[in-house]
Structure 1
Amino acid sequence: MKRIKFLYLVIGLTIFLGCSKEEITSIGQQGDYITNFDFPTIEIFAPAKVGLTNRSKNADKFLWEFSGAKTITPQGDTISYSQSEKMVPDSAFYELPGEYNVKLTTWKDGEQKEITKKIVVEKQQPVIVVPENIGVFLEVTFAARVFQFPGRPVSYEWDFGPAGTSTAANPKVTFTTEGPQLVKLTVNDGDETLSTEVVIIVQGELAKTIYFTDAFTRRIYKYKLTTQSESQVEWIGATTGYNAFGLSVKGNKLYLSETGFGTRFSAGDAAIADGVLKSYNLDGSGENIITKPVAASLDYRDDPWMHTVDRFGNIWWTCRNWGVRVINASSSEAAYPAIKFNINATIAGEGVSTYFASDIKEVGNEIWVSYAGTTGKGIYKYGYDGNYIGKFTTAIQSHAIRTFVVDQVNSHIYFATNRADAGHGLGIYRADMDGSNIISVDTHWSMNIGSGGYSDQGAAGEYVYITNMDIDVDEDGKGYLYYGYRAISDIYGSGNPPTLGPSAANSGVKRYNLDGSETASFLFKGYAPYGLAIDQVKR
């Protein structure tokens, strides 16, 4: 039989005769005089509200008699319910489990008939209420649906395995092991002892996740930023081509901008436009080519470099020479769009032709673009319509910026320089939101194999250097800046592609405490990251 945990049934027979609002007191049908009624045949669990259906025929009068029943008033009160003379009685409410009789007596022209039926109301067995999103080291609260006799306390005995035991009705528990776990519950309701159990799934620690691309394997990896358990680098199953410079996470999607074979002044195969923009699900499935340059008139200078996805679902990306482009991020195999605004041409009347676009970010209601050319430097601001808004007029504008990220909680800009400018060598720096007050974050970038410095992929003035960085910061301003470090012993040279060393043993992901209390250090080694992005949702 079908089991129902809490049952509230109202079943009745209503007959409308014309427009009369008078109460119906008889069933006017032809044929034999019959006395009968029905009630639900499914299992009924206390407390239950049971409706009856009158199946009698040709009766003039009715008397319903109930044992142990109550009725619920329109005000929500329960009162004793022993008799009713209605053709269709009010629903009977049974608070306690047990067997109850319902008797129906009818009359027709002095003749009387009666019928008695038994209603069985069962006790609800205990049911464990499992909380949602159970993760290791995350406190959660369990509950149980248990029948309780009036005036009798219920005792609880919970067994959570390695997570402990409890006698509370709503125990709080913290699991320290992920995977399936058996939860047992034994209750005594003052009448008998009942037990139940359920297998739950404890998820791994909920945490933000770093995604990054690797120059050696040309794969995309992830690393959870756990605090209570040790994390491991995992391949998400997605591969890339050469120079996968840009990664970002927006919603439940991972976006990739891949520059292709040639990154600096190129000829031959390296000069072909072979970059691509792609999207994936966060688990690496669902690979989708958003767009790529395929026209014969395009070359390596048109390939996508870094990108950002705005609040409207559009993906913006820089090209080495020919401007910023934009397209809807949900596009698939779309034609490569025209330039939204041209960087290599005159910007704001300055007449400078060496503005090599590099990184791009949505900041507030603006699109910020950094420049890393010999004369084109700093950060410029544009509107969503592509119109030029302005540039910084502070110290940051004197630096060729390969990549940057904005910490809006602490009001800082972190950026990696592409050249030695304005008294600062190659390295990572921090500025205030207006681009002033520049301080060093990580500037030990000697490009010399013997000193174990940073990769010199590219050439002077065109170093690929750091291509992505991202920030994990909480509402109190605490957190870290993350970026990829590619050592010159692992990847170097001006070729297309660059020369790879025997391994990525000296490369990896580094981090810097936003409060400046620690020097930059490796989070892990063994990979040579290009693109890097943080999924800001704990999953």
Structure 2
Amino acid sequence: MKRLRFLYMFMAGLVILACSKNEITGIGQQGDYLANFDFPTYEVYAPGKVVITNRSKNADKFLWEYNGGQTINNQGDTLDVSTSEKMVPDTIYYALPGDYTVKLTTWQGGEEKVLSKTISIEKQQPTILVPENIGIYLDVVFNAAVFKYPGQNVTYAWDFGEAGTSTEASPTVQFVTEGEHVVKLTINDGEETLSTEVIVNVQGELAKTLYLTDALTRRVYKYKLTTQSEAQVESIGVTTGYNPFGLSVKGDKLYLSETGFGTRYSAGAAAVADGVIKSYNLDGTGESLITRPVAANLDYRDDPWMHTVDKFGNIWWTCRNWGVRVANASASEAPYPAIKFNINATIAGEGTATYFASDIKEVGSEIWVSYAGTTGKGIYKFGYDGAYIGKFTTDIQQHAIRAFVVDQVNGYIYFATNRADAGRGLGVYRSNLDGSNIVAVDTHWSMNIGSGGFSDQGAAGEYVYITSMDIDVDENGDGYLYYGYRAISDVFGSGNPPSLGSSAANSGIKKYNLNGTESASFLFKGYAPYGIAIDQVKR
């Protein structure tokens, strides 16, 4: 008896194993014999796929007929087959819109039942594909998703309002005013004419943005470097202290370094350490205090001057006398760090009077620092670990450099001298990357301190002069150098802080064409800038 039961179970297992894992051949005999099936509950658009749900009961055999459709098998191949004898047919593919009949025939013994149902395959209505970042005076390409009948041509009629019309499938257009614009499209697919429209938002001209700090209002402003439309100077809602010398943009953050109340040899209130390092979102929100010196332990010689943010997300800054410090740029109210390296006679070998570290930049994989003191001159190079690499040995080393910027595309250093040296007066100069072949960029009489020229803020040997420079250069080497100019009529004197005029009528941002074909000129006036920085991303 046990042997017969085992044999029965073995044969039943063979029957089960003989069936395909992916194919059901029958439904258990439960209740009445019934033929029925359902289509998907959602709308299907051509070209589209349909999966049928078989709701039949107690049938022995099935025959599906779906004229006008094709079969997509389990391997994903489309077959020119429109019938199936499976309990559930494979996916049905309909290439064209229309009404299609699916017929199901079932059998139970000698009894046969037939059921037909109709499914509507809809035509996809035309849809306008809107390009991203539409800006005025920019070429943008529009496309449309439309249904195409085999062998039929689709005609297009676009209406872009001020940007004109087109009969192309993918027209290139240009808007000249910002704001909302209605784009309309009418197509004929060979069977009928269909229309659609969409509202697109056109932004103002996408351009790099120049940020600046102003001595008179003690605010931060921005100015878009547009080429097709006229830009205006706008406040970003950030207020500063008396001497916001350093400004930079890295990613989507704006960084600010302030020296506080005192900048030159100081006593009393001006000698207190009161500078700060801060960051903001580019729109002026999200103020974050990164770090600040502790007044009880430090003084004005430790306050931050200029800074740079490196590729690793660290912010480096110079102090008037005591070298360079570094912190994580994303830190919040971090303790004021110790000196990373001290730019003085011990390292540089220039004599005990070598002081006044000024500007700082990350260049390649090095940190470059300029000297602007009475005997400290030139540019020195350090590693990220603070190790001294070396100094320039060319003509640039003869000059006290208050600010500099490196144009790596064209291979130049632009720098602002802090006093007359080596036969060259105060002004902005350019050298090769090795510091040789110095040529004048802006040495107009107005760049001389006093006598109606540049601001005499500070004192001889400690003039603040130009505290920040930046460049906008493209891959072809075209662009401009930018720097701040503060006239003596607007900012003057050796006090802490300096005296201010009633306006900044003679001060502003100056620019110089990198190709050298134009004299330096004002981009705009009305502001007395300390720090400037360019957001190199067009927004």
What is the TM-score normalised by the length of structure 1? 0.94
Could you tell me whether the CA contact under 8 Å between 1:447 and 1:488 is conserved in 2? no
SS in 1 for 2:68: coil
Give, in whole Å, the separation in 1 of the partners of 2:517 and 2:402.
25
CA change 1:29–1:340 in 2 (3 A) is farther
Could you tell me whether the CA contact under 8 Å between 1:448 and 1:488 is conserved in 2? no
Could you tell me whether the CA contact under 8 Å between 2:315 and 2:327 is conserved in 1? yes
Give, in whole Å, the separation in 1 of the partners of 2:181 and 2:254.
32
AA aligned to 2:63 is L
Give, in whole Å, the separation in 2 of the partners of 1:306 and 1:448.
22
Structure 1 residues 337-416: aligned runs within 5 Å: 337-344=337-344, 346-416=346-416
1:322 paired with 2:343, answer no
Shift in Å at residue 75 of structure 1?
8.5
Could you tell me whether the CA contact under 8 Å between 1:325 and 1:337 is conserved in 2? yes
Could you tell me whether the CA contact under 8 Å between 2:350 and 2:376 is conserved in 1? no
CA change 1:504–1:323 in 2 (3 A) is same
1:138 paired with 2:138, answer yes
Give, in whole Å, the separation in 2 of the partners of 1:447 and 1:531.
18
Shift in Å at residue 174 of structure 1?
1.0
Give, in whole Å, the separation in 2 of the partners of 1:121 and 1:254.
55
**Aligned match of 1:4:** none
Could you tell me whether the CA contact under 8 Å between 1:449 and 1:489 is conserved in 2? no
Structure 1 residues 223-262: aligned runs within 5 Å: 223-262=223-262
Shift in Å at residue 290 of structure 1?
0.6
Any idea what the Cα deviations from partners look like across 1:176-226, whole Å, max 9, x if unmatched? Answer: 111111100011112221110000011111111111101111111111111
- Counting aligned pairs with the same residue, the percent is 77
**Aligned match of 1:9:** none
Give, in whole Å, the separation in 2 of the partners of 1:110 and 1:445.
112
AA aligned to 1:48 is G
Shift in Å at residue 74 of structure 1?
7.5
Give, in whole Å, the separation in 2 of the partners of 1:227 and 1:505.
24
Give, in whole Å, the separation in 1 of the partners of 2:425 and 2:87.
95
AA aligned to 1:187 is I
**Aligned match of 2:183:** 183
Shift in Å at residue 55 of structure 1?
1.6
AA aligned to 1:120 is S
Shift in Å at residue 76 of structure 1?
7.1
AA aligned to 1:414 is Y
AA aligned to 1:56 is S
Give, in whole Å, the separation in 2 of the partners of 1:465 and 1:54.
85
Could you tell me whether the CA contact under 8 Å between 2:450 and 2:488 is conserved in 1? no
**Aligned match of 2:303:** 303
Compute the RMSD of aligned alpha carbons. 1.8
SS in 1 for 2:347: coil
Greater shift, 208-217 or 75-84, is seen at 75-84
1:154 paired with 2:154, answer yes
SS in 1 for 2:270: helix
Could you tell me whether the CA contact under 8 Å between 1:444 and 1:453 is conserved in 2? no
SS in 1 for 2:269: helix
Could you tell me whether the CA contact under 8 Å between 1:416 and 1:466 is conserved in 2? yes
SS in 1 for 2:413: strand
CA change 1:329–1:31 in 2 (3 A) is same
Give, in whole Å, the separation in 2 of the partners of 1:191 and 1:478.
53
Give, in whole Å, the separation in 1 of the partners of 2:263 and 2:384.
27
**Aligned match of 2:507:** 507
Any idea what the Cα deviations from partners look like across 1:496-529, whole Å, max 9, x if unmatched? Answer: 1111111001100000111211110000000000
CA change 1:361–1:19 in 2 (3 A) is farther
Could you tell me whether the CA contact under 8 Å between 1:136 and 1:177 is conserved in 2? yes
AA aligned to 1:298 is L
Any idea what the Cα deviations from partners look like across 1:424-470, whole Å, max 9, x if unmatched? Answer: 11111111111111111111255789853100011111111100001
Unaligned runs of 5+ in 1: 1-16
Give, in whole Å, the separation in 2 of the partners of 1:192 and 1:446.
72
Greater shift, 525-534 or 87-96, is seen at 87-96
AA aligned to 2:455 is S
What is the TM-score normalised by the length of structure 2? 0.94
Structure 1 residues 154-173: aligned runs within 5 Å: 154-173=154-173
**Aligned match of 2:70:** 70
AA aligned to 1:180 is E
Could you tell me whether the CA contact under 8 Å between 1:309 and 1:329 is conserved in 2? yes
SS in 2 for 1:64: strand
CA change 1:152–1:358 in 2 (3 A) is same
Could you tell me whether the CA contact under 8 Å between 2:368 and 2:379 is conserved in 1? yes
Any idea what the Cα deviations from partners look like across 1:88-126, whole Å, max 9, x if unmatched? Answer: 112111122211111111111222222221111111111
**Aligned match of 2:443:** 443
AA aligned to 2:352 is V
Give, in whole Å, the separation in 2 of the partners of 1:21 and 1:145.
44
Shift in Å at residue 350 of structure 1?
4.2
SS in 2 for 1:346: helix
Shift in Å at residue 19 of structure 1?
5.2
AA aligned to 1:486 is R
Shift in Å at residue 18 of structure 1?
6.2
